[in-house]
């Protein structure tokens, strides 16, 4: 990619044509709006870069003398040359985070980023310090070691790996470093070599194949979030594993083996499964089969399906025990054995699986999970009731387990419902593709169809793979992919994206991509992977859970021992200790927080907004400034005639017809818009002596009359006086007929229908709006005023947009999002706190550069994305506050008062879990209807 300077669209067109004719250039594309040029070279001249650059520059300058060219890859190469790579060994994530933060504080460092999977730290020095060399690097190493005990750094040769970290700028984009205190926008969770489960923030390593490893995806069955965490840590500790991520809500495990172990894949996977079951006995995994839904998702597990019957049976035992104890006046002194048998049977019925799991966990190092804790709490309450005649905790001993199982059951149902609701929004994969082979129609899985295959798509069928229509005409329902409610007419040459539905009549098509590269697959993959990019809230919960349970268990042991040694009521203090154990499980937080983000991402998907992860929901919720690119984002990106202003003695129809005839041979966008406005159907016999006047316009004889169409400069060159008129804010095309000024046609890029309402919605939410454009000042001002923008910047080159964006970001303590078309705005999309690509799901660059993608190309969806993110973040905060407040209140009141009973502890664990999960599911339901009710209420 090259940055260019060219004066007008016509000049850009000439340069593009000239460069395309250079030997060895297979394709050249010049974008006047963004002042960039992209070229593709043939294999025959690859490696002869200087020669190619010289030839391109010479051809472009010959076509347009004022043309200027600069290669942005030189700037990126300079930034890469300033990168230094260090081996940091097998450190813990916490140590790596502290070291990274300390190094980033150094004035000499532009950016530092650790990569736990590769055990590397990438340090990019500022250009003015890079030449100093060893002294600065020694200071970097000393700073890192001082910040984290046991941390080690050794500079190594750059391995050429491209982890897409901010320390290593994306190709063609500046580094996404944080020079003014903003958090990094791109985050990704990856297990560290130390297996502690903590994570680093960096760009998604596993989305790129530069490591040489292959991602394997498994459907898993695991009982609880804590169990999932234990399994993930155990697998991450294996020497053969490069990275592993377990998504409890999505029931997925994504595993990457180190490349050298891929050849032994079956054996290694068996070892992985053995390791996982060593950490959690009931864990199961099955690798996903392309195009097939795993059986684990089609059938509900038998144990969970029997849970209502087990709960009912336990209720019967509890009721019978209470009747024996109180109604029939059994004496606890003489008949406690009978009660022990009845309540013990009830405990076995409702909690046998938990008790067995708790006993098994006693044999493992990591036994402090909810199964063990619930086993100790319930069996302990039963034992106290048996051994102490003055105690009466028979009912509680079974009720604690029963309510725990009820909570687990409802948690599982809520998570399953949320998962099903989100997947219902993503029903974009066609079940089959009808392929024409040897004249016969054969049904195949879309993933088995090669590019270039001929398909037949019948009415009502979904387009399975991105393709081009080669025969037949019909209509396509594009709502699932673009949000458009009106079916689109299709015919030969039209492109169809996978996920469209053909209506009315069948069409023959030819595939242009593989299924995995098609639009629908990208959408599904985005949502499938989204729960893996964790927010800081989720990471906090992970760290909190790691110390919370052991700390509470330690307090419980201290309370039990202290009560036994220092008081005359040891059983009472044992019960207090058991209450501590009941509330020691952090499941309400560990489940509800990721579930809320999962539902929020699903809700956004329903609005045709794809958010790549919970980290970006968190960032969008903090947004207080939105920066828009103009062309293609706020405007349609297509020139159109907005007005025809005839001079005295001429009619609007006359000058429009004359201009259209003169422009009929032009390929310029402005010329095409004039021809389109006139309705086409121009008789070529009316036109002669048509000429293209570079940089000025066109001329022709139309019906024997000399017609000139172009700029004021063309009029001046022909000696034709043009009256001073009010500027339209767009492009004014002057027309002269037979040497006399005949009038002007106003051309502009029309605003999108909802552009103004989008800006108004953002303002109503307290978000400032800015517009960046490479267009001229007066056009930018006209659009900004019409939309009510808070500010704008015009005549910007791509590098200027990034610099100006950084200035806008520096002026706020909140977060800034950049909204662009995802193709020419990649540097700004990457640099902003959150990058949002408009209507770019069919573009690889849109999916890769942006943090969110708006599929239906409507600017108003920016406000919707922020609104959903804020609501989701508010629910997360509610769940965290509620769970922590209730648990800490119980922990404080239990040893200091007699107010807390086992029933209160049950509410503190199971009750809070159910409330938090129900609150989380609310994230699926809010949206436009809710806003409409609110608006009506306020009115």
**367-382 pLDDT, tens per residue?**
566 777 778 878 887 8
Specify the pLDDT at position 289.
52
Specify the pLDDT at position 856.
78
- 204 assigned to some structural domain: no
pLDDT tops 70 at residue 555:
yes
CA distance 428 to 523: 8
Task: Give the range among 276-285, 432-441, 528-537 with minimum mean pLDDT.
Answer: 528-537
Same domain, 671 and 708: yes
Q: pLDDT tens-digit profile of 277-290?
A: 888 877 888 886 54
Same domain, 71 and 89: no
Same domain, 72 and 137: no
- Between these two residues, 854 and 67, which has the higher pLDDT value? 854
pTM over 0.85: no
Last residue of a domain, one of 463, 489, 513: 513
| Alpha-carbon torsion (219, 225, 226, 227), positive or negative | negative
User: Band of the pLDDT at 164, cuts 50, 70, 90?
Assistant: very low
- 933 assigned to some structural domain: no
Same domain, 256 and 181: no
- Between these two residues, 927 and 605, which has the higher pLDDT value? 605
CA distance 211 to 335: 68
Specify the pLDDT at position 499.
84
Same domain, 666 and 726: yes
Same domain, 652 and 683: yes
Q: pLDDT tens-digit profile of 690-734?
A: 888 876 889 999 999 999 998 888 899 899 998 877 666 667 899
Q: Region 851-861: what's the mean pLDDT? A: 86
- Between these two residues, 249 and 96, which has the higher pLDDT value? 96
Helix, strand, coil distribution of the chain in percent, nearest 5: 50, 20, 30
Q: Cβ(103)–Cβ(109) under 8 Å?
A: yes
Task: Give the range among 171-175, 393-397, 442-446, 592-596 with minimum mean pLDDT.
Answer: 171-175
Q: Region 621-650: what's the mean pLDDT? A: 87
Same domain, 140 and 224: no
- 552 assigned to some structural domain: no
Q: Is 456 helix (H, G, I), strand (E, B) or coil?
A: strand
pLDDT tops 90 at residue 636:
no
Q: pLDDT tens-digit profile of 902-914?
A: 888 888 888 888 8
pLDDT tops 60 at residue 577:
yes
Look at the chain and report how many structural domains it folds into. Answer: 5
Q: pLDDT tens-digit profile of 771-783?
A: 998 777 878 888 8
User: Band of the pLDDT at 900, cuts 50, 70, 90?
Assistant: confident
- 581 assigned to some structural domain: no
Write down the mean pLDDT value for the chain: 76
Specify the pLDDT at position 308.
84
Specify the pLDDT at position 205.
34
Specify the pLDDT at position 686.
92
Q: Region 829-853: what's the mean pLDDT? A: 73
- 6 assigned to some structural domain: yes
Beta-carbon contacts of residue 428 (< 8 Å; ≥ 6 apart): 462, 480, 481, 498, 499, 520, 523, 524
User: Band of the pLDDT at 509, cuts 50, 70, 90?
Assistant: very high
List the domain range (segments joined by +) for residue 459.
Answer: 450-513
* Residue 334, burial from CB neighbour count under 10 angstroms (0-12, 13-18, 19+): exposed
Same domain, 174 and 263: no
Q: Which segment, 149-163, 517-531, 601-615, is predicted with the most confidence on average? A: 601-615
Same domain, 93 and 49: no
- 257 assigned to some structural domain: yes
Token pair of 145 as six digits: 């070691």
Q: Region 585-606: what's the mean pLDDT? A: 80
Same domain, 642 and 745: yes
pLDDT tops 60 at residue 195:
no
Number of helical (H) and strand (E) elements in the chain, helices listed first: 32, 34
Same domain, 659 and 741: yes
Last residue of a domain, one of 486, 513, 540: 513
687-725 exposure pattern, b = at least 16 Cβ within 10 A, e = fewer? beebebbeebbbbbbbeeebbbbbbeebbeeeebebeee
Specify the pLDDT at position 182.
36
CATH number at residue 466: 2.70.150.10
Which residues belong to the active site? 629
Q: pLDDT tens-digit profile of 682-702?
A: 888 899 998 888 768 899 999
Last residue of a domain, one of 689, 717, 750: 750
Q: Which segment, 263-267, 667-671, 847-851, is predicted with the most confidence on average? A: 263-267
CATH number at residue 258: 3.30.70.100
Which residues share a beta bridge with 36? 3, 31
* Residue 439, burial from CB neighbour count under 10 angstroms (0-12, 13-18, 19+): exposed
Specify the pLDDT at position 934.
38
Q: Region 585-600: what's the mean pLDDT? A: 80
Same domain, 682 and 726: yes
- 758 assigned to some structural domain: no
Report the percentage of the chain scoring pLDDT > 90: 16
């Amino acid at each position: 990619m090259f940055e260019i300077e060219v004066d007008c669209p016509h000049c850009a067109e000439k340069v593009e044509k000239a460069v395309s004719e250079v030997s060895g250039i297979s394709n050249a594309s010049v974008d006047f709006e963004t002042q960039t040029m992209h070229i593709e070279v043939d294999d025959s001249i690859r490696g002869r870069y200087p020669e190619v650059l010289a030839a391109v520059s010479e051809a472009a300058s010959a076509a347009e003398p004022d043309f200027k060219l600069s290669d942005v890859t030189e700037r990126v190469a300079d930034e890469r040359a300033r990168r230094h790579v260090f081996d940091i060994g097998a450190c813990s994530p916490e140590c790596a985070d502290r070291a990274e933060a300390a190094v980033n504080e150094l004035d000499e460092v532009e950016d530092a980023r650790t990569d736990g999977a590769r055990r590397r730290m990438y340090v990019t020095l500022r250009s003015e310090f890079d030449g100093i060399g060893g002294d600065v690097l020694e200071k970097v190493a000393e700073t890192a070691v001082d910040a984290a005990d046991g941390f080690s750094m050794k500079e190594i040769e750059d391995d050429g790996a491209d982890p897409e970290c901010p320390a290593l700028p994306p190709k063609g984009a500046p580094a996404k470093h944080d020079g003014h205190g903003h958090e990094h926008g791109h985050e990704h969770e990856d297990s560290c070599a130390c297996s502690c489960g903590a994570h680093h923030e960096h760009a998604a390593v596993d989305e790129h194949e530069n490591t040489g490893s292959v991602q394997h995806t498994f459907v898993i069955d695991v009982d609880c979030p804590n169990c999932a965490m234990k399994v993930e840590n155990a697998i991450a500790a294996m020497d053969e594993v490069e990275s592993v991520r377990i998504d409890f809500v999505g029931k997925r495990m994504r595993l990457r083996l180190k490349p050298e172990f891929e050849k032994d894949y079956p054996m290694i996977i068996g070892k992985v499964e053995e390791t996982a079951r060593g950490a959690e006995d009931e864990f199961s995994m099955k690798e996903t089969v392309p195009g097939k839904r795993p059986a684990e998702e089609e059938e509900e597990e038998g144990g969970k399906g029997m849970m209502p019957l087990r709960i009912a049976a336990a209720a019967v035992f509890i009721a019978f025990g209470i009747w024996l104890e109180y109604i029939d006046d059994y004496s606890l002194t003489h008949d406690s054995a009978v009660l022990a048998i009845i309540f013990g049977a009830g405990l076995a019925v409702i909690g046998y699986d938990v008790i067995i799991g708790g006993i098994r966990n006693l044999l493992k190092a990591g036994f402090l999970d909810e199964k063990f804790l619930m086993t100790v709490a319930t069996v302990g309450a039963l034992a106290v009731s048996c051994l102490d005649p003055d105690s009466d905790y028979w009912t509680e001993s079974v009720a604690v387990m029963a309510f725990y199982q009820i909570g687990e059951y409802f948690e599982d149902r809520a998570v399953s419902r949320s998962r099903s609701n989100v997947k219902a929004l993503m029903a974009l994969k066609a079940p089959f593709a009808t392929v024409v082979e040897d004249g016969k129609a054969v049904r195949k899985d879309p993933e088995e169809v090669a590019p270039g295959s001929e398909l037949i798509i019948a009415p009502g069928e979904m387009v399975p793979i991105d393709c081009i229509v080669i025969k037949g005409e019909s209509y396509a329902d594009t709502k699932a992919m673009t949000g458009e409610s009106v079916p689109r007419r299709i015919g030969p040459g039209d492109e169809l994206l996978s996920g469209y539905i053909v209506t009315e009549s069948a069409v023959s098509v030819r595939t242009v991509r593989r299924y995995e590269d098609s639009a629908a697959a990208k959408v599904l993959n985005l949502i499938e992977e989204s729960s893996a990019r964790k927010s800081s809230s989720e990471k906090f919960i992970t760290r909190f859970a790691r110390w919370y349970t052991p700390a509470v268990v330690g307090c419980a042991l201290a309370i039990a021992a202290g009560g036994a040694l220092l008081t005359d009521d040891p059983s009472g203090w044992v019960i207090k200790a058991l209450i501590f154990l009941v509330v020691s499980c952090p499941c309400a937080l560990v489940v509800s927080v990721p579930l809320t983000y999962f539902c929020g991402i699903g809700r956004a998907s329903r609005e045709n907004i794809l958010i790549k992860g919970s980290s970006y929901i968190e960032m969008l919720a903090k947004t207080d400034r939105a920066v828009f690119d103009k062309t293609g984002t706020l405007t349609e990106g297509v020139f159109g005639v907005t007005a025809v202003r005839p001079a005295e003695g001429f009619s609007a129809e006359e000058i429009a017809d004359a201009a259209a005839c003169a422009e009929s041979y032009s390929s310029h966008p402005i010329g095409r818009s004039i021809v389109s406005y006139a309705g086409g159907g121009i008789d070529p016999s009316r036109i002669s002596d048509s000429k293209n006047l570079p940089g000025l316009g066109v001329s022709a004889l139309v019906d024997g009359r000399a017609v000139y169409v172009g700029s004021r400069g063309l009029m001046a060159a022909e000696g034709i006086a043009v009256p001073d008129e009010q500027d339209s804010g767009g492009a004014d095309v002057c027309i002269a007929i037979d040497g006399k000024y005949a009038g002007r046609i106003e051309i502009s890029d029309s605003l999108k229908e909802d552009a103004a309402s989008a800006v108004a919605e953002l303002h109503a939410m307290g978000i400032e709006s800015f517009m960046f454009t490479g267009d001229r000042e007066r056009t930018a001002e006209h659009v900004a005023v019409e939309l009510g923008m808070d500010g704008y910047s015009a005549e910007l080159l791509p590098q200027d947009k990034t610099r100006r964006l950084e200035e806008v970001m520096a002026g706020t303590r909140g977060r800034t999002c950049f909204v662009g078309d995802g193709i020419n705005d990649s540097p700004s999309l990457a640099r902003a706190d959150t990058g949002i690509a408009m209507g770019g799901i069919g573009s690889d660059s849109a999916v890769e550069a942006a943090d969110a993608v708006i599929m239906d190309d409507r600017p108003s969806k920016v406000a919707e994305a922020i609104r959903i993110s804020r609501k989701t973040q508010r629910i997360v905060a509610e769940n965290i506050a509620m769970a922590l407040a209730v648990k800490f209140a119980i922990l404080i009141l239990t040893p200091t008062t007699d107010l807390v009973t086992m029933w209160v502890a049950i509410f503190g664990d199971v009750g809070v879990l159910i409330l938090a999960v129900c609150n989380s599911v609310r994230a699926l339901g809010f949206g436009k209807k809710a806003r409409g009710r609110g608006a009506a209420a306020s009115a």
